Structure 1
Amino acid sequence: MQARIQEYLLTEQDTAPYGITAGPDGALWFTEQKGNRIGRITPDGEMSFHPVPTPESGLSCITAGEDGALWFTAYKAGRIGRITVEGVITEFALPGDGSAPFGITPGPDGALWVTLTAAGRIGRVSLTGEITEHALPQAGCFPSFIACGPDGALWFTENQGNAIGRITTDGEVREYPLPREKSGPVGLACGSDGALWFTELLGNRIGRISTSGELREYELPAENARPHAITPGLDGDLWFTEWGSGRIGRITAGGELTEYSIPTEGAEPHGIALGSDGAVWFAEECGRIGRLIPEGPGVPQA
């Protein structure tokens, strides 16, 4: 599949865009780790920004909640944030110090589920801000990205535990160790094939795990690509960022891989999401938002 990439330069530099998600308003919403703002960009490139009240909060991942708002994690501040499409921000402090929330996703119960990397826990945040936490069996496992599976459970990567985890809404946890040591799983998303797909930052692979625990792994063509985040596309494929190589990758359900180079050198892409326009949007730590538009025969329509 052919594709072209557009990039949009942010109004301020050194803000380090990180997470990105599609909003209910048709725009893309993103976090700035250094800028401490939540950004919004429309499909035609118009931007607006909303400063987060807590300074230097270390904004990380962002997702759309079932309440029509965007929810995000503040890694350094130990908070979960909520922003309406009008830009009204509410913050909820997590109990205890040093929990370092990172991944976030809506669960089948309507709540937000988050990974608490430093605490080694999975948290649940109700739409009113009530927080409960579930400890993971493996100490120091560093849970990272999290996604809802087709089985009604939450699936997550254990970056330092070298495993994929599963937790039910009742808090029952199961872990699936990866076959090779020091794979460093990070990004995770549910594919249209009913499996969970994940990135191996250190292993330089894309992985797939079925809800029954069957694992497959696919080596990336680029050396030291450092794949980071992953998201489903329109036609059963998945798209992912290659933080190390400055590329966007695509993998089909059958494991066929394609890579696309980002024009800006040193882009450092992190978060990635499918937009309402059918394009694949991604956050570049270098201070840009990227948009990849698939082209050519056989491209599905949004």
Structure 2
Amino acid sequence: MQRSDHLSVREFSVADAKAGPYGITPGPDGALWLTLVHSGEIARLAVDGELSRYPVGSAESRPTIITSGPDGALWLTRSADHHIGRITTDGSLTAFAPPEPGAGPYGICAGPDGALWFTEMNTDRIGRITTDGRITHFPLPTQGAFPSMITSGPDEALWFTLNQANAIGRLDLDGKVTLHRLPTAGAAPVGITCGADEAVWFVEIAAGQIGRLGVDGTIREFPLPDRSAKPHAITTAPSGECWFTEWGANRIGCITPAGVITEFDLPTPSSEPHGIAVGPDGAVWTALETGAVARLAP
């Protein structure tokens, strides 16, 4: 592990702490888009700091994870009022309700088949929604698993974390589910990303570790120096390393494919970093639940 100060960190205020910036993704328009989990809004942040905000439901709807879709729009989960949202870059909103009430959608990603795929925390299912709003479901073979974040993997399949089942799941496009149990008990995986090395990388929020799962099923775990750091979200940079948030330690971390970890302190104490993404400018951007977005660049 290395500690480094060789990054410039700039913070952009996007809301007060009551709004709660949470998820973040680069949009098709060259801006960052993020969820404001406590105010029922989506924010658009240009790389020069210009800000726009759009309501996407009631203040209690909890917009959570957001991703760019294959149709030039942004797609998001609303975990409290149980909808999937679609917002265009000019702020036009559509919402779709899964057929079963109380599903608790959380993670969402664009799939390899031109659809969006999402997790349902409360029903132990993975959902698929087409860009015109048609929803289908795939049940998981375990109960109380709490499926969390999801990513399109390196093998034309969907990979997702099962926070309470202590496992990583794989779902192919034919609906076959494979579970990979984690070596560390009670690791509670959350964030997951498709790596640049024929693997998916994930974070273990309760164990303070970063994990790598190859498409061959091989699992490696890399402990953080501070096992109480509570890593939350993770993303892959074009250069191959993965960047992750340490929600409990007020830091951003970077791990190379070889497992070398570097950490960077955030300037504002207790800023609660959650979502993380590589922006259209090549910098790393992270949503701070206390009301800002941080940009990290050399």
Q: Do the two structures share a fold, i.e. TM-score over 0.5?
A: yes
Q: Does 1:159 align with 2:159?
A: no
Alignment deviations for residues 77-126 of structure 1 (CA, whole Å, 9 cap, x no partner):
11000000011000001112211000000111100000001111000001
Please, which of 150, 153, 161 is the counterpart of residue 154 of structure 2?
150
Deviations 1:137-172 (A, max 9, x none): 010001111001111000000000000000011211
Tell me how far apart the structure 2 counterparts of residues 74 and 4 of structure 1 sit (CA, whole Å).
33
Cα shift readout 1:55-81 (whole Å, capped 9, x = no counterpart): 411111000000000000000011000
Gaps of 5+ in 1: 296-302
| TM-score normalized with structure 2 length | 0.97
- Partners of 1:51 and 1:125 in 2: how far apart? 22
> 1:11: Cα distance to partner?
4.3
After TM superposition, the structure 1 = structure 2 runs for residues 66-77 of structure 1, keeping only pairs within 5 Å, are 66-77=70-81
Question: Separation in 2 of the partners of 1:251 and 1:11?
Answer: 30
Q: What does residue 207 of structure 2 align with? A: 203
Mind listing any 5+ residue stretches in structure 2 that lack a counterpart?
none
- Which residue number corresponds to residue 108 of structure 2? 104
User: 2-side partners of 1:35 and 1:4: how far apart?
Assistant: 30
Deviation of residue 14 (structure 1)? 1.2
**Which of 169, 174, 196 matches 1:170?**
174
Q: Percent identity?
A: 50
1:214 counterpart (212, 218, 225): 218
1:190 equivalent among 158, 176, 194: 194
Question: Deviation digits for residues 249-298 of structure 1, max 9, x if unmatched?
Answer: 000010000110111111111000000101000101111111111x2xxx
The structure 2 residue matched to 1:265, chosen from 243, 247, 269, is 269
Number of the residue aligned with 2:260: 256
Question: Which consecutive aligned stretches of 4+ in structure 1 deviate over 6 angstroms post-superposition?
Answer: none
Q: Which residue pairs with 2:44 in the alignment?
A: 40
Q: 1:153 and 1:212 mapped to 2: Cα distance? A: 13
Partner residue of 2:283? 279
Letter in 2 for 1:24: P
Using structure 1 for the length normalisation, give the TM-score: 0.96
Counterpart residue number, 1:64: 68
Structure 1 Cα separation of the partners of residues 29 and 75 of structure 2: 14
Who is 2:21 aligned against? 17
Select 2:87's aligned residue among 80, 83, 87: 83
- Whether contact under 8 Å (2:114, 2:130) holds in the other structure is yes
Backbone CA RMSD of aligned residues: 1.0
Partner amino acid, structure 2, of 1:196? V
How many corresponding residue pairs? 294
CA drift at 1:10: 2.0
The AA in structure 2 aligned to 1:95 is P
Aligned to 1:299: none
Pick the aligned partner of 2:96 from 92, 113, 117: 92
For 1:96 and 1:108, how far apart are their aligned partners in 2? 25
